[in-house]
């Protein structure tokens, strides 16, 4: 059986060795978007496969149309154990602008900071430092009785350039990648001492509408008044998408949107989140959106409708008295809960058509639609992981949402029918994608120890 205490002690005694291995991986310039680094991406994949083989995994580098995947399997030390699929990515962002780096981005170093040491290098937080917390946890468990779960690992090499090879790879290997739940370590803690699990990702509908009227642009002095003006018509239609309280007016828009469980709502209210600072940082002061909803709730748990661009008529320097033949707008909807993207699209198009006067028509262009993803709050895996993290960090685990989307989570659901536990140890201050990216040493140490506890909890 797994000896968790011994595994944790092993990690504490071997931090220097674990850090040295992470530094070896960080030295590989696996920039996926730039073809000149193709060899480095291959080298990073092989390095990971070799490390996993060294701790008892059946690991291999799998070719794709782009950069390779790493797939590895190891069995638990007990019969009928749960099966987890761990995902991470070994590719990194380009380092430009290079002149803003204090040292070589691929020469990792430890830096003293006011609140502890930091690992500075490209990929230290996103995502090499994160994925290595899991590898090192597996190493310690294997040395102390074995894994408490069956573990499959999938490391990708194209996450930073849009994962073009991933959908086909998942589809072709879905039987091999089957598991009970996915573990994704590409998210953040709430702060340096408070663990977090991301349980909600908003979905997205992005639609473009084109309003057409006259057969050509018209002189506003000659035709202004009797001729339909697509800009005015479009503006009226868009203005009608919200009521005075900031709610979206489309019929059925809030179908499938549920209220937060009372304990989660209470936890969010107690979080040290400063809405004034959040808005003030970008030069704003008054919260917009739905009245009666906090800023955190609006970002994490409420659906939205936003205009992302309006185009029509003359937009160059100076004046041109013109009535445009057409006007267009790009509109996005962030979805939550069980909202259905197709239903939102249908309601939006109906709203537009209902606002068209005679002689006008509308055309629509879809730029994608995906549903929201939510790990059920009653999920036993969520409860186990939440308790395991609390036992490590000594603070209640925060269940957070994400205003954006993480494509891999949607693919795991659509291709593998897997829910995902998103447990990460990065921080907002880690400067991912920017010069001087860093990862707190406390995140690396705590992350390794946390995965030991989470795997043991999931294996029970």
Q: What angle do CA 365, 368, 372 make, to 5 degrees?
A: 140
**218 and 180 in one domain?**
no
**23 and 150 in one domain?**
yes
pTM of the predicted protein model: 0.90
What DSSP element (H or E) covers 94?
none
| Residues 371-394: tens digit of each pLDDT | 999 999 999 999 999 999 999 999
Give the number of domains in the chain. Answer: 2
Cα(72)–Cα(277) distance, integer angstroms: 44
**Does residue 347 lie within any of the structural domains?**
yes
**142 and 13 in one domain?**
yes
* Domain carrying residue 352: 203-257+303-370
**Does residue 330 lie within any of the structural domains?**
yes
pLDDT at position 403 is 85
Of all residues in the chain, the percent with pLDDT exceeding 70 is: 100
**429 and 379 in one domain?**
yes
Q: Could you tell me where the DSSP H helices lie in 271-360?
A: 275-280, 295-301, 341-354
**413 and 365 in one domain?**
no
pLDDT at position 407 is 82
What would the DSSP string read from start to end of 367-423?
Answer: EEEE--EE--TT-HHHHHHHHHHHHHHSSPPEEEEESS--HHHHHHHHHH---EEEE
Secondary structure letter of residue 227 according to DSSP? B
**Does residue 170 lie within any of the structural domains?**
yes
**224 and 183 in one domain?**
no
Q: Which two tokens stand for residue 285?
A: 């002061």
Q: What is the average per-residue pLDDT within 92-108?
A: 98
Backbone angles phi, psi at 396, to 5 degrees: -60, 135
349, 370, 391 - which closes a domain:
370
**Does residue 224 lie within any of the structural domains?**
yes
Handedness of CA 398, 401, 404, 405 (dihedral sign): positive
Secondary structure letter of residue 121 according to DSSP? S
Of all residues in the chain, the percent with pLDDT exceeding 90 is: 97
Pairing of strands 196-201, 398-402: parallel
What would the DSSP string read from start to end of 343-355?
Answer: HHHHHHHHHHHHT
321, 353, 370 - which closes a domain:
370
**15 and 106 in one domain?**
yes
Q: How far is CA 354 from CA 39, 79, 316, in A?
A: 56, 61, 32
pLDDT at position 406 is 82
Q: Which two tokens stand for residue 121?
A: 């290098």
Q: In sequence order, which residues have a C-beta less than 8 Å from that of residue 329 and are 6 or more positions away?
A: 208, 209, 234, 238, 307, 309, 310, 311
**212 and 194 in one domain?**
no
**142 and 48 in one domain?**
yes
Backbone angles phi, psi at 292, to 5 degrees: 85, 5
| Residues 260-317: tens digit of each pLDDT | 999 999 999 999 999 999 999 999 999 999 999 999 999 999 999 999 999 999 999 9
Q: What angle do CA 361, 366, 369 make, to 5 degrees?
A: 140
**Residue ranges of E strands in 45-128:** 58-62, 69-74, 83-89, 109-113, 116-120
Average pLDDT, the chain: 96
pLDDT at position 389 is 98
Q: For residue 422, which of 10, 46, 26, 86 has the smallest C-alpha distance?
A: 86
**435 and 348 in one domain?**
no
| Residues 18-76: tens digit of each pLDDT | 999 999 999 999 999 999 999 999 999 999 999 999 999 999 999 999 999 999 999 99
Say what the alpha-carbon torsion angle 261, 263, 264, 267 is, to the nearest 10 degrees: 160
pLDDT at position 404 is 81
> By the 8 A CB rule, do 445 and 426 touch?
no
Give me the CATH number covering residue 58.
Answer: 3.40.630.10
Q: Which two tokens stand for residue 169?
A: 């790879």
Angle between helices 4-13 and 15-26 (to 10 degrees): 70
Cα(200)–Cα(258) distance, integer angstroms: 12
> By the 8 A CB rule, do 294 and 269 touch?
yes
pLDDT at position 2 is 79
Has residue 184 got a pLDDT over 80?
Answer: yes
**Does residue 282 lie within any of the structural domains?**
no
Secondary structure letter of residue 100 according to DSSP? G
Burial class (CB in 10 A: 0-12, 13-18, 19+), 52: buried
Q: How far is CA 218 from CA 221, 359, 362, in A?
A: 9, 15, 19
Cα(340)–Cα(90) distance, integer angstroms: 34
**325 and 381 in one domain?**
no
| Widest distance between CA atoms in the chain | 87
**Does residue 278 lie within any of the structural domains?**
no
Give me the CATH number covering residue 311.
Answer: 3.30.70.360
**Does residue 274 lie within any of the structural domains?**
no
Residue position matching structure tokens 């074995």? 146
341, 370, 399 - which closes a domain:
370
**Does residue 281 lie within any of the structural domains?**
no
**403 and 344 in one domain?**
no
Confidence bin at 1 (pLDDT 50/70/90)? confident
């Amino acid at each position: 059986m797994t000896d968790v205490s011994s595994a944790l002690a092993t990690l504490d005694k071997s931090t220097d060795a674990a850090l040295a291995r992470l530094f070896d991986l960080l030295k590989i310039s696996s920039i996926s978007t730039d073809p000149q680094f193709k060899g480095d991406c291959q080298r990073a994949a092989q390095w990971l496969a070799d490390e996993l083989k060294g701790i008892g995994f059946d690991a291999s580098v799998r070719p794709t149309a782009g950069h390779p995947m790493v797939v590895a399997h190891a069995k638990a030390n007990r019969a009928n154990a749960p099966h987890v699929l761990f995902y991470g990515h070994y590719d990194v962002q380009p380092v430009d602008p290079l002149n803003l780096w204090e040292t070589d981005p691929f020469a990792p170093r430890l830096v003293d900071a006011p609140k502890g040491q930091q690992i500075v290098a490209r990929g230290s937080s996103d995502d090499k430092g994160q994925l290595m917390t899991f590898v090192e946890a597996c190493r310690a468990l294997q040395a102390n009785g074995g894994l408490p779960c069956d573990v499959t690992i999938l490391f990708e090499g194209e996450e930073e350039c849009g994962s073009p090879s991933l959908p086909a790879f998942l589809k072709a290997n879905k039987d091999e990648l089957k598991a009970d739940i996915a573990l994704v370590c590409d998210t953040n803690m709430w702060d340096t001492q408070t663990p977090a699990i991301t349980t909600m990702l908003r979905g997205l509908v992005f639609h473009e509408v084109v309003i057409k009227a006259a057969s050509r642009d018209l002189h506003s002095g000659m035709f202004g008044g009797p001729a339909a003006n697509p800009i005015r018509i479009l503006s009226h239609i868009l203005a009608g998408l919200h009521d005075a309280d900031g709610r979206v007016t489309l019929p059925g828009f809030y179908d499938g949107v549920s209220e937060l469980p009372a304990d989660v709502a209470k936890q969010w209210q107690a979080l040290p989140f400063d809405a004034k600072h959040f808005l003030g940082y970008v030069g704003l002061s008054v919260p917009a959106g739905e009245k009666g909803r906090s800023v955190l709730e609006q970002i994490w748990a409420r659906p939205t409708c936003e205009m992302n661009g309006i185009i029509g008529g003359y937009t160059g320097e100076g004046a041109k008295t013109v009535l445009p033949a057409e006007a267009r707008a790009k509109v996005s909807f962030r979805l939550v809960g069980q909202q259905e993207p197709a239903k939102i699209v249908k309601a939006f198009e109906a709203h537009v058509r209902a606002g068209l006067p005679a002689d006008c028509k509308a055309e629509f262009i879809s730029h994608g639609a995906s549903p929201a993803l939510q790990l059920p709050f009653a999920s036993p895996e969520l409860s186990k992981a939440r308790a395991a993290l609390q036992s490590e960090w000594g603070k209640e685990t925060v269940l957070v949402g994400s205003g954006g989307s993480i494509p891999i989570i949607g693919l795991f659901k659509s291709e593998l029918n897997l829910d995902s536990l998103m447990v990460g140890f990065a921080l907002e201050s880690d400067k991912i994608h920017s010069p001087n990216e860093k990862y707190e040493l406390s995140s690396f140490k705590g992350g390794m120890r946390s995965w030991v506890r989470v795997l043991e909890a999931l294996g029970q």
